[in-house]
Structure 1
Amino acid sequence: MTGEKREHWDEVYRTKSADSVSWYQPTPEPSLRALDELQLPAMASLIDVGGGASSLVDRLVERGWSDLTVLDIAAPALEVAKARLRDEAARIAWVVADVTSW
């Protein structure tokens, strides 16, 4: 089943731009507000599960977070985020996996 899920999500990100999917947010305000409310230090570890091409990781890097992991089943989605972050992408752990079996 994981192979089928991976194929599905890979196809989504191969055929649609990251900003054309229904879950796209130009700025991930709900996640950023939740992190602000928790008052976590920027040195805390954080994993964005299902992060894909989301811009959350960009905003966290801008805020000084350094121990970041982005996990998604779709490698093409992660490649979108890596390309967008350029050199900053090397500072992030990128995991291609199905969270239900990771």
Structure 2
Amino acid sequence: MKMEVKREAPAFVLWGSSYNGVGEDVEVSFADLRTAEIGKMWVGSDSNNCGRAVHRESAEVVYKTDDGVAVLHRKWGTTDSPDPERWENAPELVWYEFA
């Protein structure tokens, strides 16, 4: 008899890094989204306390119904230079529909 394992993929994964290393991934599942309240936020960051080549991500639940949630994704950080400059991408709104 053959057996197959199917694993639910995360709804999204956030990560953070800097010149000195990479932080741990933050996996957010659909189960997390189902139980999240409006205003719930997840952040991907690093713990190296370096201000150079920083990359951070966040996701915040901004709207919720029985059918799904709207999550606002943001990315920001600093450039990889001795005198780093701040940058920020335009926010992205994503609708996650529940099965």
TM over 0.5, yes or no? Answer: no
Structure with greater proportional helix content: 1
Q: State the TM bucket, normalised to the shorter chain.
A: under 0.3
TM-score, length of structure 1 as denominator length = 0.26
Please identify the structure whose Cα radius of gyration is greater.
Answer: 2
TM-score, length of structure 2 as denominator length = 0.27
Question: Relative contact order: is structure 1 or structure 2 higher (C-alpha 8 Å, sep ≥ 6)?
Answer: 1
